[in-house]
Amino acid sequence: MSASPMLPSGILQGQTAVITGGGSGIGFGIAQELGRLGARLALAGRTPQKLEEAGQILTQLGYPVLVVPTDIRQPDQVQQLMNTVVEQWGQIDVLVNSAAGNFLVDTEKLSVNGWNAVVNTVLNGTFYCTRAAGLQMIKQKRGKILSIVASYAWTGGPRTVHSAAAKAGVLTLTRTLAVEWAAHGIRVNALCPGPTDTEGARPLWANPEDKARMLEKIPVGRFGTVQEVAQAASYLLSPFADFINGEVLVMDGGEWLGKGLNS
């Protein structure tokens, strides 16, 4: 499914956006849309080759792009990322926390290393990035932060105890900072996509039986698209949403309302 552009080109002209996990999937989709809207883009992620390829595509589209390989689990690397962006463009107007990590596992089989791998990326990494970007935004007296969460952050979900706990932390981080940082002109929100048709997700429904089982749980009967998620993200980061703060926008076709993840 293809969606027409929702916001006018150039509405974010002159703004700088840092996108973690920007080399692929939803993060890359959001970067494309923010670039179309006029933002300068700083892509961060752990895989230099992916980032470079994404950066080349965005550059060919005519968007200003800075590629900064970063392991967001390392606070020093995160700070260097933000320093590099400020040195290059003088400001950070937008942070999109899109980097994530997850795998399905029975809780009794989850190792300490497995727990730490997910929590360090999803929760700690989001905090490191949010704090580092937030300090710059506080100086500027403006900024917008958007984190990607999942509905099992509040419903729970079998075999996702590590990711659910981490995403729940991101959710409360979002709402806490929405209150704390509003006085600094900073808005903090979250976006909760349901099953989305990305290259990384497609193996989950590689055979017809798995696909049918997943679609049965989604009232609208289809998966979301990266473009839809990117446009929802761009709205929350646009001037049209300046009175939205501490909110979570769920876009999962109604999955979490009914049979959901716990069926």
Three-class SS state of 41: strand
Is 1 within 8 Å of 228 (Cβ atoms)? yes
- How does pLDDT run across 175-188, given as a tens digit for each residue? 999 999 999 999 99
CA dist 101 → 20, 82, 181, 204, 249 (Å): 12, 22, 27, 15, 21
- How does pLDDT run across 233-261, given as a tens digit for each residue? 999 999 999 999 999 999 998 888 875 44
Q: Give the model's pLDDT for residue 189.
A: 98
**Higher pLDDT pick, 202 / 43:** 43
- Per the annotation, the verdict on 152 as an active-site residue is yes
The whole-number average pLDDT for the span 49-57 is: 97
The answer to whether residue 173 scores a pLDDT higher than 80 is yes
From the candidates 63, 128, 152, 235, give the one annotated as an active-site residue: 152
CA–CA separation, 218 vs 225, rounded Å?
Answer: 14
Matching CATH number, 16-196+226-249, of 3.50.50.60, 3.40.50.300, 3.30.499.10, 3.40.50.720: 3.40.50.720
For strands 143-148 and 94-97, give the pairing.
parallel
CA dist 152 → 165, 184, 248 (Å): 9, 31, 13
Helix axes 161-180, 125-140, angle to 10 degrees: 10
CA–CA separation, 14 vs 10, rounded Å?
Answer: 9
